[in-house]
Amino acid sequence: MNLEIILHAGIATGTILLFATIGELITERSGIINLGVEGMMLVGAMTGFSVSLATGNPWLGVLMAMLAAGMLGLAHGLVTIHLQADQVVSGLALTFLGTGLALVFGEGLTGKNPPLVPNWSLPGLAHIPFIGPTFFANHSVLVYIGYIFIPAVWFFIYKTRPGMHLRAIGEKPEAADTLGVNVYRLRYLYTFVGACLAGLSGATISLAVSPGWYSAQTTSGQGWIAVGLVIFAQWNPLRAAFGAYLFGALRRGILDLQGPAVLLGFTNPLYINSNWSFFLKMAPYLLVILALVVGSRAAIKKHIGSPAALGVPYIRGDR
């Protein structure tokens, strides 16, 4: 097993989780929980795939994937912001709706080969030993977009005025409102943005990292892992990025463990009986739970936690 290859694949897989996790993080920062990430990702993956197939332009596919998922996000926004429905249930509805839409419109896409988002090697950087081949060589452009995306989001949330408004409407919407911030409009906006990123994450699967349309197996629960990672990250984009790459690498590493007959000098039990890999496949899901336990204990100790108004509908004039 070659560490370079495993890390390379892990970074690519992590990019999927990165977009979805940061998207959900932004939405939750504005005070809206959107549990429909899995559904939105599937819609994104399907839309991106089929648009690229139809037009021959993968970038148009990525764009449409974001918009399609964004529309679902707006539906969630309408139901939870104006109609004040329960955000948890609405998010679940969105999961069903997105999955259903993706399966209905994705009928017959399996096995097709649309043009994919191109792979690049960054000149100069790619030749640094170890780091170059792992991080900067032969990756999809979307992976590099991910690298730039992380500091950009951090800067936006913590260092800009709109970012301050974003945090304010999630922590204390009534105070933000008195300062002239339009809470409703911004919550719509960030629900839309978060959903678009979930769509991007879906397109990252189908048009870049593991190209293809495998109906509901395309995402296989990564949307839910993203939701868990947001809590693990304590709503901090840098921790979210770390978690996304860690879990991405883990998912990949598990696949790679099954290959070799001898592992670290021992006979590989997975090689003899591949059924043991079912237990290995449980690891990411169990680790999310473990991460949440560790995270929430730390949160209790340090008195940090979710945005104060998370999940609470804001009703103007209801104070």
Partner 1 sequence: MNLPFDVRFERRSEDNPWWLPVATALGSVVVAFVISGIILKLTGGQPLVVGKFFWQATFGSWPTFSDTIVKATPLILVGLACAVAFKMKLWNIGAEGQFYMGAFFASLVVLVPIVPMDSPKVVILGSMMIMGMIGGALWGFFPGFLKAKFNVNEIITTLMLNYVAILWNNFWIFDKWSDAGFQMTPMFDKKAWLPRLADYAHQYKAFSGITLHLGVLIGFVAAIVVWWIFQRSRWGYEIKLIGDNPEAARYAGLNITRNIVLVMMFSGALAGLAGMSEVSGVVHRLQERISPGYGFTGIIVAWLAKLNPFAVIVVSILFGALIVAGREIQPSGLAQLLQGIILFMVISSDVLLRYKIRIVRVKPLTA
Contact indicator for 227, 306 with CB cutoff of 8 Å:
no
Residues within window 30-59 making contact with partner 1, judged by CB under 8 A = 35, 39
User: Is 67 among the residues that bind partner 1 (CB under 8 A)?
Assistant: no
- Closer Cβ to partner 1, 13 or 134, answer by number: 13
Residues within window 269-298 making contact with partner 1, judged by CB under 8 A = 273, 275-276, 278-279, 281-282, 285-286, 288-289, 292-293, 296-297
Residues within window 11-30 making contact with partner 1, judged by CB under 8 A = none
Which of these, 203, 291, 299, 310, lies nearest to 244 by C-alpha position?
291
- Closer Cβ to partner 1, 117 or 291, answer by number: 291
Window contacting partner 1 (CB under 8 A); options: 93-101, 119-127, 153-161, 187-195: 93-101
- Position among 56, 118, 151, 221 found at the interface with partner 1 (CB under 8 A): 221
| Least separation in angstroms between CB 286 and partner 1 | 6
Burial of 307 (0-12, 13-18, 19+ CB in 10 A): buried
d(CA 115, CA 43): 18
| Least separation in angstroms between CB 94 and partner 1 | 7
Q: Give the three-class secondary structure for 140.
A: strand
d(CA 44, CA 109): 14
Q: Where would I find the H helices in the chain?
A: 3-29, 37-55, 58-77, 87-105, 131, 141-159, 161-171, 173-178, 183-204, 222-232, 237-257, 269-272, 277-302
Footprint of partner 1 on this chain (CB under 8 A)? 35, 39, 75, 79, 83-86, 88-90, 92-107, 215, 221, 224-225, 227-228, 231, 273, 275-276, 278-279, 281-282, 285-286, 288-289, 292-293, 296-297, 300
